[in-house]
Amino acid sequence: MWISKAEIKKLSDNIRKIIDGQSIDLRDNQEGVWGMLKNDIHTLAYHKKEQMEVLQEERTAMTDTLVNISHQIKTPLTSMMIMADLLENAPAEKQREFLSNIKAGLVRMEWFASALLKIAKLDAGAIEFGVDTIQSSELIELSLEPLQILLDIKNQTVNTTNELELNCDKRWTSEALTNLIKNASEASPENSDIYIEFGINPICRWISVTDSGTGIEKSKIYSVFKRFEGSYSDKGYGVGLPLALAIMRGQNGDIEIDGGGNGKGATFTLKFFR
Protein backbone atom coordinates (compact mmCIF):
# COMPACT_ATOMS: atom_id res chain seq x y z
CA MET A 1 0.00 0.00 0.00
CA TRP A 2 1.45 3.35 -1.07
CA ILE A 3 0.89 6.38 1.17
CA SER A 4 1.57 9.88 -0.12
CA LYS A 5 3.68 12.44 1.73
CA ALA A 6 0.64 14.77 1.78
CA GLU A 7 -1.41 12.19 3.73
CA ILE A 8 1.42 11.64 6.20
CA LYS A 9 1.85 15.41 6.64
CA LYS A 10 -1.91 15.86 7.16
CA LEU A 11 -1.95 13.13 9.81
CA SER A 12 1.10 14.67 11.50
CA ASP A 13 -0.53 18.12 11.53
CA ASN A 14 -3.74 16.70 13.01
CA ILE A 15 -1.79 14.90 15.74
CA ARG A 16 -0.12 18.19 16.69
CA LYS A 17 -3.54 19.87 16.84
CA ILE A 18 -4.78 17.10 19.16
CA ILE A 19 -1.72 17.58 21.38
CA ASP A 20 -2.60 21.29 21.55
CA GLY A 21 -6.06 20.40 22.81
CA GLN A 22 -8.14 20.58 19.62
CA SER A 23 -10.81 17.97 18.85
CA ILE A 24 -9.95 16.26 15.56
CA ASP A 25 -11.71 13.14 14.25
CA LEU A 26 -9.04 10.89 12.72
CA ARG A 27 -11.26 7.87 12.16
CA ASP A 28 -11.00 6.27 8.73
CA ASN A 29 -13.46 3.70 7.40
CA GLN A 30 -11.12 2.52 4.65
CA GLU A 31 -9.61 -0.93 4.97
CA GLY A 32 -5.91 -1.46 5.30
CA VAL A 33 -3.02 -0.69 7.63
CA TRP A 34 -3.27 3.09 7.11
CA GLY A 35 -6.92 3.17 8.17
CA MET A 36 -6.17 0.98 11.20
CA LEU A 37 -3.31 3.31 12.23
CA LYS A 38 -5.53 6.41 12.03
CA ASN A 39 -8.29 4.68 14.03
CA ASP A 40 -5.82 3.57 16.71
CA ILE A 41 -4.39 7.11 17.00
CA HIS A 42 -7.94 8.48 17.28
CA THR A 43 -8.73 5.99 20.08
CA LEU A 44 -5.52 6.90 21.91
CA ALA A 45 -6.29 10.63 21.58
CA TYR A 46 -9.86 10.08 22.82
CA HIS A 47 -8.64 8.20 25.91
CA LYS A 48 -6.05 10.91 26.56
CA LYS A 49 -8.76 13.57 26.41
CA GLU A 50 -10.97 11.58 28.82
CA GLN A 51 -8.10 11.18 31.28
CA MET A 52 -7.31 14.90 31.14
CA GLU A 53 -10.97 15.76 31.81
CA VAL A 54 -11.07 13.38 34.79
CA LEU A 55 -7.81 14.85 36.10
CA GLN A 56 -9.20 18.37 35.77
CA GLU A 57 -12.38 17.36 37.62
CA GLU A 58 -10.27 15.86 40.42
CA ARG A 59 -8.17 19.03 40.64
CA THR A 60 -11.30 21.17 40.80
CA ALA A 61 -12.81 18.92 43.48
CA MET A 62 -9.57 19.03 45.47
CA THR A 63 -9.45 22.83 45.23
CA ASP A 64 -13.08 23.10 46.37
CA THR A 65 -12.40 20.75 49.28
CA LEU A 66 -9.35 22.72 50.41
CA VAL A 67 -11.30 25.98 50.20
CA ASN A 68 -14.10 24.46 52.30
CA ILE A 69 -11.67 23.09 54.88
CA SER A 70 -9.90 26.44 55.08
CA HIS A 71 -13.21 28.23 55.59
CA GLN A 72 -14.35 25.77 58.26
CA ILE A 73 -11.08 26.17 60.20
CA LYS A 74 -10.62 29.93 59.75
CA THR A 75 -13.83 30.99 61.54
CA PRO A 76 -13.24 29.19 64.88
CA LEU A 77 -9.51 30.01 64.79
CA THR A 78 -10.25 33.73 64.37
CA SER A 79 -12.71 33.58 67.27
CA MET A 80 -10.19 31.81 69.53
CA MET A 81 -7.43 34.27 68.61
CA ILE A 82 -9.64 37.21 69.55
CA MET A 83 -10.53 35.61 72.90
CA ALA A 84 -6.84 34.82 73.54
CA ASP A 85 -5.91 38.46 72.90
CA LEU A 86 -8.59 39.67 75.32
CA LEU A 87 -7.85 37.05 77.95
CA GLU A 88 -5.05 38.79 79.85
CA ASN A 89 -6.95 42.00 80.65
CA ALA A 90 -10.40 40.44 81.06
CA PRO A 91 -12.15 40.08 84.45
CA ALA A 92 -11.86 36.68 86.13
CA GLU A 93 -15.39 35.65 85.13
CA LYS A 94 -14.74 36.54 81.50
CA GLN A 95 -11.40 34.69 81.59
CA ARG A 96 -13.19 31.51 82.64
CA GLU A 97 -15.76 32.02 79.86
CA PHE A 98 -13.06 32.63 77.24
CA LEU A 99 -11.04 29.60 78.34
CA SER A 100 -14.15 27.41 78.22
CA ASN A 101 -14.99 28.65 74.72
CA ILE A 102 -11.42 28.14 73.51
CA LYS A 103 -11.38 24.60 74.89
CA ALA A 104 -14.73 23.80 73.23
CA GLY A 105 -13.45 25.22 69.93
CA LEU A 106 -10.31 23.08 70.09
CA VAL A 107 -12.37 19.95 70.81
CA ARG A 108 -14.61 20.67 67.80
CA MET A 109 -11.58 21.23 65.56
CA GLU A 110 -9.99 18.01 66.80
CA TRP A 111 -13.22 16.17 65.93
CA PHE A 112 -13.28 17.85 62.50
CA ALA A 113 -9.70 16.75 61.72
CA SER A 114 -10.47 13.20 62.86
CA ALA A 115 -13.63 13.04 60.72
CA LEU A 116 -11.78 14.30 57.64
CA LEU A 117 -9.09 11.65 58.11
CA LYS A 118 -11.73 8.91 58.38
CA ILE A 119 -13.54 10.18 55.25
CA ALA A 120 -10.22 10.21 53.36
CA LYS A 121 -9.55 6.59 54.35
CA LEU A 122 -13.04 5.56 53.25
CA ASP A 123 -12.69 7.41 49.94
CA ALA A 124 -9.37 5.69 49.30
CA GLY A 125 -10.84 2.25 50.02
CA ALA A 126 -8.32 1.80 52.82
CA ILE A 127 -10.90 0.46 55.30
CA GLU A 128 -11.79 -3.21 55.53
CA PHE A 129 -15.07 -3.62 57.38
CA GLY A 130 -15.42 -6.58 59.71
CA VAL A 131 -18.59 -8.34 60.85
CA ASP A 132 -19.25 -8.43 64.59
CA THR A 133 -22.32 -9.73 66.40
CA ILE A 134 -23.41 -7.01 68.80
CA GLN A 135 -26.48 -6.17 70.86
CA SER A 136 -28.12 -2.81 70.22
CA SER A 137 -27.64 -1.75 73.86
CA GLU A 138 -23.86 -2.21 73.56
CA LEU A 139 -23.81 -0.29 70.28
CA ILE A 140 -25.73 2.61 71.86
CA GLU A 141 -23.33 2.65 74.82
CA LEU A 142 -20.33 2.88 72.49
CA SER A 143 -22.01 5.57 70.38
CA LEU A 144 -23.02 7.76 73.33
CA GLU A 145 -19.64 7.75 75.05
CA PRO A 146 -18.14 10.64 72.99
CA LEU A 147 -21.36 12.68 73.32
CA GLN A 148 -22.00 12.66 77.06
CA ILE A 149 -20.68 16.18 77.66
CA LEU A 150 -22.68 17.61 74.74
CA LEU A 151 -25.88 15.90 75.93
CA ASP A 152 -25.30 17.02 79.53
CA ILE A 153 -24.75 20.64 78.50
CA LYS A 154 -28.07 20.68 76.61
CA ASN A 155 -29.79 18.48 79.23
CA GLN A 156 -30.96 16.06 76.55
CA THR A 157 -32.11 12.51 77.16
CA VAL A 158 -31.65 9.59 74.77
CA ASN A 159 -34.58 7.15 74.90
CA THR A 160 -34.51 3.60 73.56
CA THR A 161 -37.24 0.98 73.62
CA ASN A 162 -36.29 -2.42 72.29
CA GLU A 163 -33.28 -4.69 71.93
CA LEU A 164 -31.92 -6.16 68.68
CA GLU A 165 -28.93 -8.22 67.63
CA LEU A 166 -26.94 -6.76 64.75
CA ASN A 167 -24.21 -8.12 62.50
CA CYS A 168 -21.96 -5.22 61.51
CA ASP A 169 -18.56 -3.67 62.05
CA LYS A 170 -18.87 -2.61 65.71
CA ARG A 171 -16.31 0.20 65.67
CA TRP A 172 -17.39 1.86 62.42
CA THR A 173 -21.12 1.43 62.96
CA SER A 174 -20.85 3.07 66.39
CA GLU A 175 -19.03 5.92 64.63
CA ALA A 176 -21.92 6.30 62.19
CA LEU A 177 -24.50 6.17 64.99
CA THR A 178 -22.52 8.71 67.04
CA ASN A 179 -22.72 11.15 64.14
CA LEU A 180 -26.49 10.64 63.78
CA ILE A 181 -27.05 11.22 67.50
CA LYS A 182 -24.78 14.30 67.43
CA ASN A 183 -26.79 15.59 64.48
CA ALA A 184 -30.05 14.96 66.39
CA SER A 185 -28.65 16.80 69.43
CA GLU A 186 -27.78 19.84 67.30
CA ALA A 187 -31.29 19.82 65.79
CA SER A 188 -33.04 19.52 69.16
CA PRO A 189 -33.58 22.28 71.74
CA GLU A 190 -32.29 22.11 75.29
CA ASN A 191 -34.17 19.91 77.80
CA SER A 192 -35.49 17.67 75.01
CA ASP A 193 -35.47 14.00 74.04
CA ILE A 194 -33.78 11.98 71.30
CA TYR A 195 -35.37 8.67 70.35
CA ILE A 196 -33.52 5.59 69.10
CA GLU A 197 -35.42 2.56 67.82
CA PHE A 198 -34.37 -0.76 66.32
CA GLY A 199 -36.27 -3.05 64.01
CA ILE A 200 -36.18 -5.82 61.44
CA ASN A 201 -38.11 -6.47 58.24
CA PRO A 202 -37.73 -8.87 55.28
CA ILE A 203 -35.24 -6.50 53.63
CA CYS A 204 -33.02 -5.24 56.42
CA ARG A 205 -32.32 -4.62 60.09
CA TRP A 206 -32.45 -0.95 60.97
CA ILE A 207 -31.63 1.69 63.59
CA SER A 208 -33.54 4.98 63.58
CA VAL A 209 -32.63 8.23 65.35
CA THR A 210 -35.37 10.85 65.76
CA ASP A 211 -34.71 14.35 67.06
CA SER A 212 -37.06 16.83 68.77
CA GLY A 213 -36.49 19.60 66.25
CA THR A 214 -38.76 21.15 63.66
CA GLY A 215 -37.84 18.78 60.83
CA ILE A 216 -36.00 19.32 57.56
CA GLU A 217 -37.44 21.15 54.58
CA LYS A 218 -37.92 18.90 51.55
CA SER A 219 -35.69 21.14 49.47
CA LYS A 220 -32.81 20.59 51.92
CA ILE A 221 -33.09 16.83 52.40
CA TYR A 222 -30.95 16.04 49.36
CA SER A 223 -28.12 18.30 50.53
CA VAL A 224 -27.68 16.94 54.06
CA PHE A 225 -25.13 14.38 52.87
CA LYS A 226 -23.11 16.93 50.89
CA ARG A 227 -19.84 17.60 52.62
CA PHE A 228 -19.56 20.96 54.40
CA GLU A 229 -23.23 21.76 53.69
CA GLY A 230 -25.52 19.61 55.82
CA SER A 231 -24.82 20.84 59.34
CA TYR A 232 -27.78 21.84 61.55
CA SER A 233 -25.58 24.12 63.64
CA ASP A 234 -23.43 27.16 62.89
CA LYS A 235 -20.82 25.37 65.00
CA GLY A 236 -21.04 22.22 62.88
CA TYR A 237 -18.75 21.35 59.99
CA GLY A 238 -21.06 19.38 57.68
CA VAL A 239 -18.94 16.22 57.64
CA GLY A 240 -20.67 14.00 60.22
CA LEU A 241 -23.58 12.87 58.05
CA PRO A 242 -21.44 12.28 54.93
CA LEU A 243 -19.09 10.20 57.09
CA ALA A 244 -22.02 8.15 58.45
CA LEU A 245 -23.31 7.53 54.91
CA ALA A 246 -19.87 6.45 53.68
CA ILE A 247 -19.59 4.01 56.60
CA MET A 248 -23.01 2.48 55.88
CA ARG A 249 -22.44 2.13 52.15
CA GLY A 250 -19.06 0.57 52.88
CA GLN A 251 -21.00 -2.17 54.71
CA ASN A 252 -23.54 -2.60 51.89
CA GLY A 253 -26.04 -0.47 53.82
CA ASP A 254 -27.66 2.93 53.47
CA ILE A 255 -29.26 5.82 55.37
CA GLU A 256 -32.89 6.81 54.84
CA ILE A 257 -34.32 10.21 55.86
CA ASP A 258 -37.80 11.17 57.00
CA GLY A 259 -37.76 14.96 57.13
CA GLY A 260 -40.59 15.20 59.69
CA GLY A 261 -42.13 18.65 60.16
CA ASN A 262 -45.49 19.79 61.53
CA GLY A 263 -44.36 19.26 65.10
CA LYS A 264 -42.33 16.15 64.34
CA GLY A 265 -38.54 15.92 64.28
CA ALA A 266 -36.47 14.40 61.50
CA THR A 267 -35.64 10.68 61.51
CA PHE A 268 -32.43 9.19 60.14
CA THR A 269 -32.44 5.40 59.69
CA LEU A 270 -29.36 3.20 59.32
CA LYS A 271 -30.29 0.22 57.13
CA PHE A 272 -28.34 -3.04 57.13
CA PHE A 273 -29.51 -5.05 54.12
CA ARG A 274 -29.73 -8.80 54.35
Flag whether 212 is in a domain.
Answer: yes
pLDDT attached to residue 62: 66
Flag whether 12 is in a domain.
Answer: no
Flag whether 70 is in a domain.
Answer: no
pLDDT attached to residue 149: 83
Flag whether 184 is in a domain.
Answer: yes
Taking residue 18's Cβ as centre, other Cβ atoms within 10 Å add up to 19
Flag whether 6 is in a domain.
Answer: no
What end-to-end distance do the CA atoms of the chain give, in Å? 63
pLDDT attached to residue 73: 73
Count of structural domains, the chain: 1
Flag whether 78 is in a domain.
Answer: no
Q: Determine the angle formed by the axes of helices 240-250 and 92-123, rounding to 10 degrees.
A: 30
Domain coverage including residue 177: 132-273
pLDDT in tens, the chain (274 residues): 667 778 778 778 777 877 777 777 777 777 777 778 878 888 888 888 787 777 777 677 666 666 666 766 777 788 888 888 888 888 988 888 888 888 877 877 777 777 778 888 887 787 888 899 999 999 999 999 988 888 988 999 999 988 899 999 999 999 999 999 999 998 999 999 999 999 999 999 999 999 999 998 888 887 888 876 655 545 555 778 888 999 999 999 999 999 988 889 999 999 999 8
Q: Is the backbone of residue 175 left (phi > 0), alpha (psi -120 to 50) or beta?
A: alpha
Which has the closest alpha carbon to 236: 63, 61, 109? 109
- Mark 242-265 as b/e (b = at least 16 C-beta within 10 Å): bbbbbbbebbebebeebbbeeeeb
pLDDT attached to residue 1: 60
Flag whether 49 is in a domain.
Answer: no
pLDDT attached to residue 9: 81
- Give the domain CATH number at 208: 3.30.565.10
Flag whether 13 is in a domain.
Answer: no
